[in-house]
Amino acid sequence: MPLLRVWDSPDEIGFASLPSRLETKLQVASRLGKGLACVRVDFYEARGRVCCGEITFTDADDCLILLPPRDGMLSELEFY
């Protein structure tokens, strides 16, 4: 089966609409993150309810470059 791609020009795409129930999600995220230095809260909706899918306590997608180089020794340790 051939792969079909449709390319729209940016002018035809427009802007994405705001997520549904955004205010509720922002309020819940604020409460969950209160007092924490860094937190990302992922939401989804099921049957009309706002659900928390994941809470992440690291930034930079866990791809932070460790400096000085000796900090890289942490990745060489075996924790099992």
| Length of the chain (residues) | 80
Residue environment code for 57-78, b if the CB has 16+ CB neighbours within 10 A, otherwise e? eeeeeeeeeeeeeeeeeeeeee
pLDDT value at residue 37: 86
The pTM of the full predicted model, rounded to 2 decimals, is 0.55
pLDDT tens-digit series, residues 6-23: 666 666 666 778 889 999
pLDDT value at residue 74: 67
DSSP string covering 2-25, please? Answer: --------HHHH-PPPPPTTHHHH
pLDDT tens-digit series, residues 20-77: 999 999 999 999 999 998 888 999 999 989 999 999 887 766 666 656 666 667 667 7
pLDDT value at residue 16: 76
